[in-house]
Amino acid sequence: MKFIEVKNVVFAYDAAEEGEEPKTVLKDISFEIEKGSFVALLGHNGSGKSTLAKMFNGILEPESGDIVVNGLNTKEESTILDVRKSVGLVLQNPDNQLVASIVEEDVAFGPENLGIPPEQIRQRVDSALKSVDMYEFRAHAPHKLSGGQKQRVAIAGIIAMEPECIVLDEPTAMLDPQGRKEVMDTVIKLNREKKITIILITHYMDEAVQADRVIVLDDGRIIRDGAPKKVFSEVEFLKCHSLDVPQATELAYRLSSSGMKIEGTPLNETECISAVIKALS
């Protein structure tokens, strides 16, 4: 079942200077996102990923074309609150997303704004903190947490609003490897166990391979859309568009280029090792 429909979306930002042309950053984009899926959105800087992310919960509106979320057009003012409730947005810097001085108050902020009754808020906050494994930190001060912990609290704040979809715009860019792993484990768990639709914008290809589907944007257009194995098999093509491939895929590609008979497209170390052992035997 489709959850988000992107139909012929065109978007331009106003020109910075008078007399300049407006800058078209999304150029007739169309695709659909299935309910419960985990989609990675890739593309080099400036390709239009964040602009698109802001359309999924109606922060930005298409100039032409439509974004339909759960059957609701984001251009329809009377239902925009329902769109915002069903699609949560997590941004890069957790410090900009945490507003209260105690973790549980921070997580309560979103549902309070939605007008949820207090007794339900308590239950939502506890459950959201448990689902990101931060319940034991509920009485802590957010600014004393690690980057990964802060980002998980920010995600809990979104979960407490009970969205059906979470869009994460480079949520791990400012985190150390441990923090990145914590956030990715949380995102995968929310997708698999709570069936929350995930749209993840990332520059880390080892994160993208964990998605069911990878969409690659380049200069406001979709240039690839498919399963990670299929998209990452085109190593040269991706490099031409200033994109990396996962490290294991790169190693396998180089071994293959130097004559080793590597089968398929290994996406992680285990798959790469198996392919090498097979090639040597």
Binding site for ligand ADP (CB under 6 A): 13, 23, 25, 43, 45-51
> Residue 129 or residue 215: which is nearer to ligand ADP going by CB?
215
The DSSP string of 91-116 is -S-GGGT--SSSHHHHHHHHHHHTT-
- Listed in sequence order, the DSSP H helices in 132-176 are 147-159
We find the least distance from the C-beta atom of residue 16 to ligand ADP, in angstroms, to be: 7
Give CA–CA dist 241/115, Å, rounded.
45
Q: What are phi and psi of 242, to 5 degrees?
A: 55, 35
Give yes or no for a contact between 58 and 74, defined as CB atoms under 8 angstroms apart: yes
> Residue 41 or residue 166: which is nearer to ligand ADP going by CB?
41
We find the least distance from the C-beta atom of residue 52 to ligand ADP, in angstroms, to be: 7
CA-to-CA dists, residue 158 to 56, 74, 98, 107, 213, angstroms: 15, 19, 11, 8, 23
Tell me, what DSSP letter sits at residue 75? T
We find the least distance from the C-beta atom of residue 131 to ligand ADP, in angstroms, to be: 27
> Residue 49 or residue 180: which is nearer to ligand ADP going by CB?
49
We find the least distance from the C-beta atom of residue 89 to ligand ADP, in angstroms, to be: 13
CA triple 106-109-112, angle to 5 deg? 150
We find the least distance from the C-beta atom of residue 143 to ligand ADP, in angstroms, to be: 27
> Residue 45 or residue 258: which is nearer to ligand ADP going by CB?
45
We find the least distance from the C-beta atom of residue 184 to ligand ADP, in angstroms, to be: 19
| Other beta carbons less than 10 A from residue 111's beta carbon | 23
Give CA–CA dist 28/42, Å, rounded.
17
Order of strands, sheet of 38-42, starting from the edge strand that comes earlier in the sequence? 87-90, 165-169, 197-201, 38-42, 213-218, 221-226
> Residue 27 or residue 35: which is nearer to ligand ADP going by CB?
27
> Residue 45 or residue 281: which is nearer to ligand ADP going by CB?
45
